[in-house]
Amino acid sequence: MAVAPSKPKRPDYFFIAVLLLTGLVSGWLLLMPFVPAIARMTMRRFHLSSESFGLWAIQAPIPAMYNFGNQYEVSDLPAGLITPVLDTTRPRYINHFPTRMLTFANTRYNLLCEGRHCYLTIRSAYRGQLLESKIEARPIGEGRYQWIRESSEFIDPAAMDQSKSTDPLGLDQLVLPEVLQ
């Protein structure tokens, strides 16, 4: 039986790098419930609205979490254009990366195969924080479309709930011509 040498001749830098990366990712995940800035950066990552590509790329090793409440709504009309008396559209829930509705998978084909405009509103909620993004998908031919981000901002969920309770029909959000105002 051969005896293995007692010490390696040089340190294993790859193993050290893997340990450091694992420690950083674990620290990120453990701090997320307590540091709102980390949660906000992670939510922006899921909406593909990070401030820079570098910031998005740094977060690539962090696993996609299921602890955000991700909702989406798809409409043929932009938000606020008309307010229906009875709201027939209800937000649907989706796991991590709600923008995948337009980036890949069968939903992209189903929404955009006929070459129609599509307005997507996505919301991610986590511990009292709510990120809402509004995206317009405009067809440009040959099954392709242009992705236009109309907004991506953090909103106060309490204010959103209060506006629904004071005006259940949404009449305060009607867009009226100047003549009627």
Domain map (residue ranges) of the chain: 14-173
Tell me the per-residue pLDDT of 90-110, one tens digit each, with 9 for 90 and over. Answer: 677 787 788 877 777 677 777
Token readout for 99 is 């923008």
Please check whether residue 59 is in contact with residue 21, taking contact to mean a CB–CB distance below 8 angstroms: no
Structure letter (DSSP) for residue 2? P
Question: Torsions phi, psi of 73, nearest 5?
Answer: -135, 135
Q: In whole angstroms, what is the distance from residue 154 CA to residue 124 CA?
A: 9
Per-residue confidence (pLDDT) for residue 181, from 0 to 100? 43
Under DSSP, is residue 143 helix (H, G, I), strand (E, B) or coil?
coil
Residue 125 pLDDT > 70: yes
Q: In whole angstroms, what is the distance from residue 95 CA to residue 68 CA?
A: 8
Rg (CA), the chain: 22
Confidence band for 176, pLDDT divided at 50, 70 and 90? very low
Contacts of 132 (CB under 8 A, 6+ apart): 121, 122, 123, 151, 152, 153, 154, 155
**What does the pLDDT average to over 62-76?**
80
Residue 180 Cα to chain centre, angstroms: 37
Mark 97-116 as b/e (b = at least 16 C-beta within 10 Å).
Answer: bbbbbbeeeebbeebbeeee
Helix (H) or strand (E) holding 137: strand 129-141
Tell me the per-residue pLDDT of 150-167, one tens digit each, with 9 for 90 and over. Answer: 888 888 877 666 555 555
Please check whether residue 93 is in contact with residue 70, taking contact to mean a CB–CB distance below 8 angstroms: yes
Share of the chain above pLDDT 70, in %: 76
Per-residue confidence (pLDDT) for residue 105, from 0 to 100? 67
pTM of the model: 0.72
Contacts of 144 (CB under 8 A, 6+ apart): none
Please check whether residue 102 is in contact with residue 120, taking contact to mean a CB–CB distance below 8 angstroms: yes
Beta bridge partners of 11: none
